[in-house]
Amino acid sequence: MEKKKIGNLSQREQFVKELTDRVKDDLKKYFLDRDYGVVVLTKEDALRALIVRTTNLCEIARLRHKLSPMATAVLGRALTGAILLTSLLKHGTQQRVLLRIEGDGPIGLVVAEANAKGEVRGFVQNPNVPTFVKEENGRRKFDIGKAVGRGVLTVVKDLGFGTPYESSVPLVSGEIAQDIAYYLLKSEQIPSAVSIGVLVGETGKVEAAGGFIAQPLPGASEKAVEKLEENVKKMPPISSLIKEGKRPEEISELLFEGFTVELLALKELSFKCKCSKEIARGGLLAMPAEELKELIKEGGASIKCNFCGEEYFFTKEELEEILNEKEKGEN
Ligand SMILES: [Zn+2]
């Protein structure tokens, strides 16, 4: 009896192993072209990181908002940055984080919002901002800081209860990744390494985008933190790694070279807005009656969602119905 059980067990083990390998293969295929992130921990020491690939969602943002190459580079960084900030949220909940960058540069206001489910949306005030370049180590790069300018970075965390928590820091570089690291240190007391890269091709298309955030957890040794800093310094730019086809879990091996990496969670990422015609209708309903009457006179209205560029059309008849509802409600 005992013997047979052991025999069955090994058969079962073999089956489970095959199944695990097949699931791994399926996951690899599923995430071949999709955006996703991995949360990793080091086995030996308390270091944690979130590494993300955001190429598709940055490209979708570019197309939706008809962004210039410079605006694509800035919004792509902000969207990726907001996703990295979701590491402050509870995985898989309705919690969300909003990143707002108000600088005096030509791009104007930059806003990105991400939730714990991996959905992100955002916009820039000036989608046509021209290209600024600078040279760094002999390479021509977008001068993100010049487009953004000097100003303030604000993070609003909505944890799903009470008033959202809001905190601001002055922009230290306008390069976004450094500014997020500064925010985490000053406002959250979390020393972090943050890196974000968006590679925009000749035609303006996003060729590769992604980022990582790495932090020591309480109890991490000084030696481990030093090793992490050393690894971060010698890593090639993250956008180049992604362009080469490196996956987030492979990038985690470079980030935590010298440690044993454990994958803790996997999250699919997408550009997604929660707007709808119903929400746009609510906006019209809140308008002064005089303005609604103007729109009716014009024969219809188109309401554009700032966050995703989606347009909602309302016919004259629909507007009249909204006006009726408004007047009924006010009596
Ligand atoms: Zn929208």
For 263-291, the pLDDT digits (tens) are 999 999 999 999 999 999 999 999 999 99
Q: Is residue 19 part of a domain?
A: no
In the chain, % of residues over pLDDT 70: 97
Q: Are 63 and 107 in a shared domain?
A: yes
User: Does the pLDDT of residue 77 top 70, yes or no?
Assistant: yes
Report the pLDDT value the prediction gives residue 125, as an integer from 0 to 100: 97
Q: Is residue 25 part of a domain?
A: no
Final residue of a domain: which of 249, 271, 293?
A: 271
Instruction: Tell me how far apart the alpha carbons of residues 284 and 318 are, in angstroms, rounded to a whole number.
Output: 11
> How remote is the CA of residue 159 from the centroid of ligand 1, in Å?
21
Q: Are 144 and 185 in a shared domain?
A: yes
Q: Are 232 and 319 in a shared domain?
A: no
pLDDT in tens, 17-55: 888 888 888 888 888 889 999 999 998 889 999 999 999
Report the pLDDT value the prediction gives residue 27, as an integer from 0 to 100: 84
Mean pLDDT, range 185-209, rounded to an integer: 95
> How remote is the CA of residue 95 from the centroid of ligand 1, in Å?
18
Report the pLDDT value the prediction gives residue 25, as an integer from 0 to 100: 86
State CA 267 to chain mean position distance.
12
Tokens 């919002």 identify what position? 113
CB distance 65 to 112 below 8 Å: no
Report the pLDDT value the prediction gives residue 223, as an integer from 0 to 100: 94
User: Does the pLDDT of residue 5 top 70, yes or no?
Assistant: no
Q: Are 265 and 302 in a shared domain?
A: no
CATH number at residue 307: 3.90.1280.10
Report the pLDDT value the prediction gives residue 303, as an integer from 0 to 100: 92
Closest CA to 48 of 215, 240, 204, 251: 215
Report the pLDDT value the prediction gives residue 3, as an integer from 0 to 100: 47
User: Does the pLDDT of residue 201 top 50, yes or no?
Assistant: yes
pLDDT in tens, 78-87: 999 999 999 9
CA angle 297–299–303, rounded 5-degree value: 105
Closest CA to 111 of 71, 146, 142, 140: 71
CB distance 194 to 205 below 8 Å: no
CATH number at residue 231: 3.55.30.10
Mean pLDDT, range 303-310, rounded to an integer: 92
Instruction: Tell me how far apart the alpha carbons of residues 55 and 77 are, in angstroms, rounded to a whole number.
Output: 11
Q: Which residues pair with 36 in a beta bridge?
A: 53, 268
Q: Are 143 and 284 in a shared domain?
A: no
Q: Is residue 28 part of a domain?
A: no
Q: Is residue 12 part of a domain?
A: no
> How remote is the CA of residue 287 from the centroid of ligand 1, in Å?
19
Report the pLDDT value the prediction gives residue 2, as an integer from 0 to 100: 46
Q: Are 127 and 179 in a shared domain?
A: yes
> How remote is the CA of residue 114 from the centroid of ligand 1, in Å?
13
Report the pLDDT value the prediction gives residue 24, as an integer from 0 to 100: 81
> How remote is the CA of residue 63 from the centroid of ligand 1, in Å?
14
Mean pLDDT, range 164-169, rounded to an integer: 96
User: Does the pLDDT of residue 7 top 80, yes or no?
Assistant: no
Final residue of a domain: which of 221, 245, 271?
A: 271
> How remote is the CA of residue 260 from the centroid of ligand 1, in Å?
41
Q: Is residue 20 part of a domain?
A: no
> How remote is the CA of residue 304 from the centroid of ligand 1, in Å?
8
Q: Are 227 and 323 in a shared domain?
A: no
Structure letter (DSSP) for residue 307: T
> How remote is the CA of residue 275 from the centroid of ligand 1, in Å?
4
Q: Is residue 2 part of a domain?
A: no
Q: Is residue 78 part of a domain?
A: yes
Mean pLDDT, range 296-314, rounded to an integer: 93
Q: Could you tell me the two tokens for 274?
A: 């929660």
> How remote is the CA of residue 297 from the centroid of ligand 1, in Å?
26
Mean pLDDT, range 104-118, rounded to an integer: 97
Q: Is residue 97 part of a domain?
A: yes
User: Does the pLDDT of residue 6 top 70, yes or no?
Assistant: no
CB distance 304 to 284 below 8 Å: no
> How remote is the CA of residue 310 from the centroid of ligand 1, in Å?
6
Final residue of a domain: which of 271, 299, 320?
A: 271
CB distance 39 to 48 below 8 Å: yes
> How remote is the CA of residue 311 from the centroid of ligand 1, in Å?
8
Mean pLDDT, range 137-141, rounded to an integer: 84
Taken as a whole, the chain contains a residue count of 331
Closest CA to 308 of 145, 79, 149, 130: 79
Q: Are 189 and 304 in a shared domain?
A: no
In the structure, ligand 1 is a single-atom ion and the residues with CB under 5 Å from it are: 273, 275, 305, 307-308, 310
Mean pLDDT, range 8-20, rounded to an integer: 81
Q: Are 322 and 237 in a shared domain?
A: no
Mean pLDDT, range 132-145, rounded to an integer: 90
In the chain, % of residues over pLDDT 90: 81
> How remote is the CA of residue 271 from the centroid of ligand 1, in Å?
10
Q: Are 198 and 286 in a shared domain?
A: no
> How remote is the CA of residue 195 from the centroid of ligand 1, in Å?
27
Q: Are 253 and 291 in a shared domain?
A: no
Average pLDDT along the chain: 93
Report the pLDDT value the prediction gives residue 162, as an integer from 0 to 100: 85
> How remote is the CA of residue 282 from the centroid of ligand 1, in Å?
14
Q: Are 116 and 200 in a shared domain?
A: yes
> How remote is the CA of residue 192 from the centroid of ligand 1, in Å?
31
Counting the structural domains of the chain, the total is 2
Write the CA distances from 296 to 282, 301, 315, 330, integer angstroms: 16, 8, 8, 19
> How remote is the CA of residue 266 from the centroid of ligand 1, in Å?
26
The boundaries of the domain holding residue 234 are 33-271
